[in-house]
Amino acid sequence: MITLKRVYDPVTSTDGVRYLVERLWPRGVKKTALHIDAWLKDVAPSGELRRWFDHDPKKWNEFRRRYHDELRASADALDPIVKAARRGRVTLVYSSHDTEHNNAVALKEYLDARMGKRQTPDKPAA
């Protein structure tokens, strides 16, 4: 199971394996305070895509499409998350204030589809 949590939320014993899925380290957070198992920069959106999106909800659908394309191109980077999720709970940790329109939401959506939990909206079932 994959869950999401902001970096500013408290760590709990039910988080399971915790992965930071941001390209940049979150502002105001000490590395020793985050309690993550790994920082997976390579699963985060490219700097170019991140800057283009700029957390604009109006760009959300196009951001998701472009980000999913990036994820398909670097599928090996997702292996640690997929393997851990098959063993138990994984928490994707992100820094965005917007809990609905951020890379972790789009990443979880992509991973759920890849792991057979549901079809991504931008790739209808054949």
| Residue ranges per structural domain of the chain | 2-114
Say what the pLDDT of residue 117 is.
Answer: 66
What tokens were used for 59? 């760009």
In angstroms, rounded to a whole number, what is the distance separating the alpha carbons of residues 33 and 54? 26
In angstroms, rounded to a whole number, what is the distance separating the alpha carbons of residues 79 and 69? 16
> Residue 58 carries which side chain, given as an amino acid letter?
K
Instruction: Please name the residues in contact with 74: beta carbons below 8 A apart, sequence gap of 6 or more.
Output: 42, 43
**Model pLDDT for residues 52-101, shown as the tens digit of each residue:** 999 999 999 999 999 999 999 998 999 999 999 999 999 999 999 999 99
What tokens were used for 104? 């972790």
